[in-house]
Chains A and B, each alone.
Chain A
Amino acid sequence: MAQHLPILPIILPLFAAVLIPLFGRIRVQYAWFFSVGATGFSFLCSSWLLSQVMTGRRVRYFLGNWEPPWGIEYVVDYLSGFVLVIISFMAFVVTVYSWKSVEKEIPKEKVGLFYAVFMLLVTGLLGIVITGDIFNLYVFLEISALSGYVLIAMGGKREALMASYNYLILGTIGATFILLGIGYLYMVTGSLNMADLATLLPPLYENKVVLTGFAFLVVGLCIKVALFPFHIWLPNAYTYAPSVVGTFMAATATKVSAYALVRIMFTVFSPGFDFKMVPVTEILFYLGMAAMLVGPVLAISQTDIRRMLAYSSVGQIGYIVLGISLGNQTGMVGGLVHLLNHALMKGGLFLVVGAIIYKTGITQISELKGMGKRMPLSMAAFTVSALSMIGVPLTVGFVSKWYLGVGALQAGKWIALPIILLSSLLTAVYFWRIIENVYFKGAQGQESGRQREEGPPGMVVPTLGVASLCLVFGVFAFIPVSIAELAAQMLLGKT
C-alpha cells in the first residue's frame, strides 16, 4: 500500500467532495467530519511522503501504471513534498476551524455544497503541487480556480459576486495563457511530462516557439500568483469571501501558483535558460520589488482589516518572487521558506480576523478598540503573526528576510536590500495601527468592566496553533530551511 501513498493526498479530498453531498443530506455535521477526516489524512500522507523524500528518494507514481511520458505521473521531490505538507496542513487547520464560522456565514442548506466545493479546492491545490504532468497541472489549476470562484461568491455581501466575477475573468485569462503556453511546448516537443520536457527542451532553447510558450506560461502564472501589477483581482476576492475561504486562499492559493511558477521556470526549463537566455528573472526581480512596496503602501490606506491583509499579501508575494529571481541558492531558499512562512503568518492573521467577525461582526480597523481585553488569546495570536510579518527576530518573518537579504547581497543586487527593509517598515506601519487600536486605545479604566468574548475553542485552538508555529519555525528555523535548501539545490543544480 505504501507505494500508493502519492495518490492518497489527492483522492481523499476528492472522495470527500463526492461523499459530502450524499451524506451531508442526512446531517449537515457529516460534511464537516468528512472534511476534517479527509484533510487530516491528507496531511498525514503528505508528511509521510515528505519524510520519504527526505531520505533522498524521489517518489514517483504512475496513474493507471502508464509509464511516462505516455501516462500522467505524480512526482514528490523536495520541493513538492515541502509545499504539499504546507497546503495540506493549512487545509486541515482551516477545516477544523471552519465549523462555527461556516455555520454562521453560510446558509444551512448550502453548507454541504460549501464543504464539497471546499474539498475540490483542496484537491485542486494539492494536485497542482504533486503532478509531474504539465497539462494535468493546468487541469488542477482550473479545478482549484473554479471552486475558488464558487466559494468566493458564497460570501454574504453582494460585492462578493463582483469580486468572484472579476477573479473569474482574470483567472480565465491567466489559465488560457497557460494552456496556450503548454500547447506551444507540446507543439515542438510532443511531450507533456515535465521531466521529459526538461530533457527535450534544452536543444530547442533558441526556438521562437519555445520562447513564446515560455512567455505565455510565465505571464499566465503571474496572473494566478497575483504578482503586481496583476494583483487587481486579489483584494476584493479575499475581502468579501467567507472568512474560512479567505483564510485558506490567502494562506495557500497564491503560494501554489508561485510553486507552479518555480516548477515551470526551474524544472521544465532550467536556471541557465532563465538567467542567461531570457530576461525573465530580471523582470520578475523588479516586479517583485515593486510589489513589495506597492502592497504595503496600499495596505496602509485601507480601513477594512481583511482588505488590508489582502494588500499585505500582494506585498508578501513580492518577497517570494524576489527570492526566486535572485538566482542564487540563498535567495531561492528565502523565497521557498517564505512559502511556508507566509502561509503561517497570513493564515494566522486571517484566522483571528475570522474569529473577530464570528464573535463581533467587526471588519473595520477603527472598531477594534479594546479588543485586546475582549479576545486576549486571539489578539495574542494576531500580535505574534503581525510581528512575524514585520520580521522581528525569532519569528518566521525574520528568517525569510534574512535569507532574501543575504541572497540579494550575494547576487550583487544591492538595491534589493533597502527595498526589503523599507517594505518591513511599511508593514510595521499598518500593523502597528491595529495593535495600537487593539491594546492601547479606548477602554481606559475598564480593567474589569468588559467581559471576555473569546471565540469558541474550535476556533481559538487552531489559531493559537498556527501562531505558535510562527514562533517555533522562527526559533528552530533550520527545520524548514534545511528542506528548502535541498529543494533549492535541486532546482538550481541543473545547468
Chain B
Amino acid sequence: MEFILAKYNYWIYIFLMMIGFYAMIAKKNLVKKIIGMNVFQTAVFLFYISISKVTGGTAPIVWEYARQYDNPLPHVLILTAIVVSVSTTAVALALISRIYESYGHIEEDKILSQQK
C-alpha cells in the first residue's frame, strides 16, 4: 500500500498511458485512435512534469521566497514535446479529413474492405 501511494504519480501516468495505448491499437475509428494517441502522449508529459517536482520547491522564477525550486528543464522539454504532439495531431486530423473525402468512412475496417 505504501508502495502504491508513494509513487502515485507513476501509477497515474501508467494508467493513462495504457488507456491511450489501448485506444490506439484496438479502436477502429480513426479519430478515436488519434484521441488515444493524445492521451498516450499526455501521459508521458505528465510523467515528465511529475519528475521535475522537488519537494517544497517553488516555481523556478527568481523571487523573494525562492530557496528551493523545481527543475525547469523537463518543463521546457515537454513544451517542445507538446508542440510535436500538436503537430502530429494536426497532420493526423488533416489526413483523416482527406481519408474521409476519398473513402467516405473513418472506420478502419470499412476502409480496408474498400482497398481490396
Evaluate contact between A135 and B77: CB separation under 8 angstroms.
yes
A219-246 CB contacts (< 8 Å) to partner B: none
Evaluate contact between A183 and B48: CB separation under 8 angstroms.
yes
Give the nearest-CB partner of B91 in chain A: A149
Which one of B37, B98, B111 contacts A172 once the chains associate, using CB atoms below 8 Å? B37
Complex CA–CA separation, A192 to B77 (angstroms): 11
Evaluate contact between A150 and B91: CB separation under 8 angstroms.
yes
Evaluate contact between A168 and B30: CB separation under 8 angstroms.
no
Evaluate contact between A168 and B92: CB separation under 8 angstroms.
yes
Give me the interface of B with A, judged by CB distance under 8 Å. 21, 24, 30, 33, 37, 40-41, 44, 47-48, 51, 74, 77, 80-81, 84, 87-88, 91-92, 95-96, 98-99, 102-103, 111-112, 115
State whether A164 and B95 are in contact (beta carbons under 8 Å apart), knowing that A169-B33, A176-B41 are contacts in the complex.
Answer: yes
Complex CA–CA separation, A168 to B47 (angstroms): 23
Evaluate contact between A183 and B44: CB separation under 8 angstroms.
yes
B84: chain A residues at CB < 8 Å are: 139, 142, 146, 175
Interface residue stretch chosen among A36-44, A58-66, A153-161, A449-457: A153-161
Complex CA–CA separation, A135 to B24 (angstroms): 24
A161: chain B residues at CB < 8 Å are: 95, 98-99, 102
Interface residues on A, range: 20 to 34
Complex CA–CA separation, A179 to B44 (angstroms): 8
In the complex, whether A173 has a CB less than 8 A from a CB of chain B is yes
B87: chain A residues at CB < 8 Å are: 142, 146
Complex CA–CA separation, A138 to B37 (angstroms): 17
B47: chain A residues at CB < 8 Å are: 180, 183
Main secondary structure of the interface of A (DSSP, over half): helix
Listed A/B pairs (21) with beta-carbon separation below 8 Å: A135-B77, A135-B80, A139-B84, A142-B87, A149-B91, A149-B92, A149-B95, A150-B91, A161-B99, A161-B102, A162-B111, A164-B95, A165-B95, A165-B99, A168-B95, A172-B37, A172-B40, A173-B21, A183-B44, A183-B48, A186-B51
Evaluate contact between B44 and A176: CB separation under 8 angstroms.
yes
In the complex, whether A422 has a CB less than 8 A from a CB of chain B is no
State whether A173 and B115 are in contact (beta carbons under 8 Å apart), knowing that A165-B92, A168-B91, A168-B92 are contacts in the complex.
Answer: no
Main secondary structure of the interface of B (DSSP, over half): helix
Give the nearest-CB partner of A150 in chain B: B91
Give the nearest-CB partner of A149 in chain B: B91
Complex CA–CA separation, A176 to B37 (angstroms): 9
Q: Mark A3-18, 1 if CB is under 8 A from B, else 0.
A: 0000000000000000
Give 7 nearest A-B pairs by CB, closest first: A158-B102, A142-B84, A161-B99, A187-B51, A165-B95, A180-B44, A149-B91
A149: chain B residues at CB < 8 Å are: 88, 91-92, 95
B37: chain A residues at CB < 8 Å are: 169, 172
CB distance from B3 to the nearest CB of A (A): 13
Sample of 12 further A-B pairs with CB below 8 A, known A172-B40, A180-B47: A135-B80, A139-B80, A142-B88, A149-B92, A161-B95, A161-B99, A161-B102, A165-B96, A168-B88, A173-B21, A176-B40, A186-B74
State whether A153 and B115 are in contact (beta carbons under 8 Å apart), knowing that A179-B81, A183-B51 are contacts in the complex.
Answer: no
CB distance from B52 to the nearest CB of A (A): 10
Evaluate contact between A169 and B24: CB separation under 8 angstroms.
yes
Q: Mark A258-295, 1 if CB is under 8 A from B, else 0.
A: 00000000000000000000000000000000000000
B41: chain A residues at CB < 8 Å are: 172, 176
A135: chain B residues at CB < 8 Å are: 77, 80
Evaluate contact between B44 and A162: CB separation under 8 angstroms.
no
CB distance from B95 to the nearest CB of A (A): 5
CB distance from B77 to the nearest CB of A (A): 6
Complex CA–CA separation, A169 to B95 (angstroms): 12
Which one of B21, B30, B51, B74 contacts A165 once the chains associate, using CB atoms below 8 Å? B30
Complex CA–CA separation, A150 to B94 (angstroms): 10
CB distance from B87 to the nearest CB of A (A): 6
CB distance from A93 to the nearest CB of B (A): 27
Give the nearest-CB partner of A141 in chain B: B84
Give the nearest-CB partner of B98 in chain A: A161
A159: chain B residues at CB < 8 Å are: 115
Q: Mark A166-198, 1 if CB is under 8 A from B, else 0.
A: 001100110110011001001100001000000
B112: chain A residues at CB < 8 Å are: 162
A179: chain B residues at CB < 8 Å are: 44, 81
Complex CA–CA separation, A159 to B77 (angstroms): 35
Complex CA–CA separation, A183 to B41 (angstroms): 13
Complex CA–CA separation, A397 to B11 (angstroms): 49
Evaluate contact between B98 and A146: CB separation under 8 angstroms.
no
